[in-house]
Amino acid sequence: MEPAAYGLRESATFDRATIHAIQRAAETGVYDIRGWGAKRKLPHFDDLLLLGASMSRYPLEGYRERCDTDVVLGTRHAKHPLRLATPVTIAGMSFGALSAQAKEALGRGASEVGTSTTTGDGGMTPEERGHSKHLVYQYLPSRYGMNPDDLRKADAIEVVLGQGAKPGGGGMLLGQKITERVAGMRTLPVGIDQRSACRHPDWTGPDDLAIKILELREITDWEKPIYVKVGATRTYYDVKLAVHAGADVVVVDGMQGGTAATQDVFIEHVGIPTLAALPQAVRALQELGVHREVQLIVSGGIRGGADMAKALALGADAVAIGTAALIALGDNHPRYDAEYRQLGSAAGYFDDYQDGRDPAGISTQDEELAARLDPVEAGRRLANYLRVMTMEAQTLARACGKAHLLHLEPEDLVALTIESAAMARVPLAGTNWIPGEGL
């Protein structure tokens, strides 16, 4: 008989996972480190709905009427802005966290559909550069793998100030993933746990960012767009400061955003949801008169065309995906369930990123495991997924009467809950009430 059947009640405060966490801490004396993003339920794009057209709006016909998807990023200062065929990009994920095969597959998949991929903490691999049509190079606080030659090889540069999974903190890479190749690129010892810096060594405030951006422009002859990536916290102010510092593109990563490895307490308790950050970022850009001139990329929990359409309607120019791209490559696939269970996880739980023993060959540096991932096949899967995502967004945009994905607007949205209405600043469905507006 189930315990509930003879009257035992579960505690909402001390649920099973909480009890297990306390037991685990008591036994080991170390905090929990894991990958993936926040697992708690947060207000998200599911709490918004698009208003399709009917009498007062005119829908577009799917087979005959176009709905364009292209986007140009970095139009403010760069001589060569990035021209992408679809407004979904692959977020920065490090070589080290991911295998060289996975990085190559990301490049192949993104290139097949005409979008960009991004390096990460740990530098640029030749496989990744070779297979990425548009490659964004991350300039991170750790400076692992950073060198001016690779800056010049990139198509855009992303200065990373923070990530949604851990704003104010640095990531981790456990010793089991620090092979000779990873260590060589990072100039670190082999096999020793490593924590990335939480802030740039030559940075004490936004004025230093302005100097840094100028330096990067000089090194790259003003050719490449410069992005600034922030974890979502005080987003309104951060976006304004990034624009003042000279960013061409601002990337806002909400707290649902994935990570390769960091403290669980960080992932679940720091930052604000993507849905709350996005309208703040748009308001900051609008007040500065640069909305659409400085492009906005939003990430953190983007899963498909509906999320993308809603993010664009709220004012983003593009979205970025990390976790969903890894799932598309084949990560945590049920066929490996037995092997994930041997790691103390299970397929679909994604609690193994930090471990370095990913049976799918994606978040590992083990040569045998990594060889299981065929970059061509995995790239094809990613390209399929990106195509589906784009078609889904187009279907929704056409239903709203839009001939371009970027024509979606807040007026196309309503909210299902009071909290999402307040965060997204769109009316609660069936009313014209936006909580907090006019106060």
Ligand X SMILES: Cc1cc2nc3c(=O)[nH]c(=O)nc-3n(C[C@H](O)[C@H](O)[C@H](O)COP(=O)(O)O)c2cc1C
Q: Is 160 in the site for ligand X (CB under 6 A)?
A: yes
The total of other beta-carbon atoms located within 10 Å of residue 273's CB is 24
Q: Is 322 in the site for ligand X (CB under 6 A)?
A: yes
Q: Is 329 in the site for ligand X (CB under 6 A)?
A: no
Report which residue's Cβ sits closest to ligand X. 322
Position 105: which residue type? A
The answer to whether 95 and 119 have CB atoms below 8 angstroms apart is yes
Interface with ligand X in residues 62-121 (CB under 6 A): 91-94, 97-98, 120-121
Q: Report, in Å, the least distance between residue 263 CB and ligand X.
A: 15
- Calpha distance 254→375 (Å, rounded): 29
Site string for ligand X, 338-357 (x = CB under 6 A): ---------------x----
Q: Is 256 in the site for ligand X (CB under 6 A)?
A: yes
Strand duo 194-195 + 226-231: pairing: unpaired
Contact stretch for ligand X (CB under 6 A) within 215-223, 251-259, 371-379, 428-436:
251-259
Q: Report, in Å, the least distance between residue 10 CB and ligand X.
A: 29
Q: Which among 91, 55, 326, 78 is positioned nearest to 217, based on CA atoms?
A: 78
- Calpha distance 164→153 (Å, rounded): 27
Q: Report, in Å, the least distance between residue 399 CB and ligand X.
A: 25
The tokens describing 28, both together, are 């080991």
- Calpha distance 362→390 (Å, rounded): 24
Q: Is 301 in the site for ligand X (CB under 6 A)?
A: yes
Q: For ligand X, which is the closer residue by CB, 160 or 422?
A: 160
Position 244: which residue type? H
Q: For ligand X, which is the closer residue by CB, 111 or 332?
A: 332
- Calpha distance 286→4 (Å, rounded): 54
Strand duo 82-84 + 71-73: pairing: antiparallel
Q: Is 259 in the site for ligand X (CB under 6 A)?
A: yes
Q: Report, in Å, the least distance between residue 106 CB and ligand X.
A: 11
> Which residue ranges make up the site for ligand X (CB under 6 A)?
35, 37, 91-94, 97-98, 120-121, 138, 160, 163-164, 229, 253, 256-260, 299-302, 321-324, 353, 363
